[in-house]
Amino acid sequence: MRLSARSAVVDGALTPVTIRVDDRLITALEPHADPEADIVLDDGILTAGLVDIQINGAFGVDFAAADEAGWDAVAARLPSTGVTSFQPTLITAPLPQLIAGLDTATEARDRQEDGPYARILGVHLEGPWLAPRKKGVHEARHLAEPTPEAVDALMSAVGFDILTLLTLAPELPGALEAIKRLSSAGVAVSIGHTDATAAQVEAAADAGATLVTHIFNAQRGLAHREPGVPGAALSDSRYRVGLIADLHHVAPEICTLIFRAAPGRVVLVTDAIAAAGMPPGAYVLAGIPVELGEDGVPRNADGTIAGSALTLDQAVRNLLGLGMPVPTVIEAASKVPAEALGRADLGRIAVGARADLVHWTEDFHPVRTWVDGRELPALAGTRVGRA
């Protein structure tokens, strides 16, 4: 297949391109739009598929309690938001329950292979090794410390190989050793739900941590004498920083500041719950009742924000609305999260990369999506360009 676009995000720039796809991979790029290609996109913008590394659920489905139909429904609908790869995220629960969740995710990944779905990259465990003072909506009764025995239990679990990212608080007893062990085993470690000082953030990076989970949220804040988690991570090039860009979790001005402070290191995430893509009403996050209000923000009974109702394409539109450059925003939702997981084959339009592509309207609504070079079922709305 050869596909051409008048405008595409390639190597951090907007440019015309013609792409050749063979056996699911991009095998050649030409720096012009060939009008005789098999698929010609005359309008809109072509980008790599988006990668969401923190999503608890969507479209009425909570991964922590979903059945097979629920898992498949989310994976089938995510491409309508431009997402072609994702990490289902499980939050704090008893460790045996989380381990069982790894098995469920493995079954879903195997079942969905070669189907009309966004790709499951692996599982993100957000907890249970989090700081009680920064727990957010995570249930305090299930919080724990990363003891050697607990880490042993996780790493010896049958489903451990699907674990690709784990969030913990680095100041907890045993946390630095856990970071070393997990990162050595190929699991990316993110610090989050943490009251760590800047010194402890640096120690975590020394041990192998490479990410910050939803920067500025549920962590020691930035101060002029104690930089806290945001200050330490933004100034340390070893960290990539996750950002929930719904403009509620983090103010627009701070979103802009984050991009300026950490160019090329910002990872857009949704932290979406079952309420994403749904109307206001009552939902559940890992058994916790949550209400999605008219303002689009889900909260638990005491008013604490509980994840988001954000989709990744909306995050892109939000940041573009702040005046940020298109390539910068797109790469924060595709290339940078893929790099955070060591996946150089995803999130970019480049020779050797997976042919995961999204065609957007001029106002950045996805209208066509390809995973491994195969176009998924038509999305709602009017297509642009011609095939």
Q: State the number of CA atoms in the 13 A half-sphere of 223 facing the CB.
A: 9
Residue 34: active-site member: no
Residue-wise pLDDT for 283-341, tens only, equals 999 999 999 999 999 999 999 999 999 999 999 999 999 999 999 999 999 999 999 99
Query: What's the pLDDT band for 377 if we cut at 50, 70, 90?
Result: confident
Cα separation of the two ends of the chain: 12
Q: Do the domains 2-46+351-375 and 50-340 sit in the same CATH topology, yes or no? A: no
Residue 104 zone, left/alpha/beta (φ > 0; ψ -120 to 50; rest): alpha
Give CA–CA dist 178/147, Å, rounded.
8
Q: Which of 72, 236, 271, 313 is catalytic?
A: 271
What backbone torsions phi and psi does residue 61 show, to the nearest 5 degrees? -110, 130
178 secondary structure, DSSP code: H
Of the candidates 336, 357, 85, 327, which has an alpha carbon nearest to the alpha carbon of residue 344? 336
Beta bridge partners of 14: 9
pLDDT at residue 381, rounded to an integer: 41
170 by DSSP, 3-state: which?
Answer: coil
Tokens of 167: 């969030």
Kindly tell me if the per-residue pLDDT of 387 is higher than 60.
no
Give CA angle at 365 (348, 321), nearest 5°: 90
Report the relative pairing of strands 57-58 and 61-62 from DSSP bridges: antiparallel
Alpha helix segments (H runs only) across 66-147:
68-77, 95-112
Kindly tell me if the per-residue pLDDT of 386 is higher than 70.
no
Query: What's the pLDDT band for 218 if we cut at 50, 70, 90?
Result: very high
- Domain regions of the chain by residue span: 2-46+351-375, 50-340
Supply the mean pLDDT for the chain: 96
Kindly tell me if the per-residue pLDDT of 250 is higher than 90.
yes
Tokens of 16: 């015309």
Q: Which CATH architecture has domain 2-46+351-375?
A: Roll (2.30)
Kindly tell me if the per-residue pLDDT of 380 is higher than 60.
no
Number of H helices, E strands in the chain: 10, 22
Tokens of 97: 């329950």
pTM of the model: 0.96
Tokens of 244: 């929930």
Of the candidates 63, 66, 26, which has an alpha carbon nearest to the alpha carbon of residue 46? 26
Q: Mean per-residue pLDDT for 136-164?
A: 97
pLDDT at residue 212, rounded to an integer: 98
Kindly tell me if the per-residue pLDDT of 238 is higher than 80.
yes
Give CA–CA dist 190/215, Å, rounded.
11
Q: Mean per-residue pLDDT for 110-137?
A: 97
Q: Are 101 and 155 in contact (CB under 8 A)?
A: no
Q: Is 3.20.20.140 the CATH classification of the domain at 50-340? A: yes
Q: Mean per-residue pLDDT for 191-202?
A: 98
Q: Mean per-residue pLDDT for 360-381?
A: 89
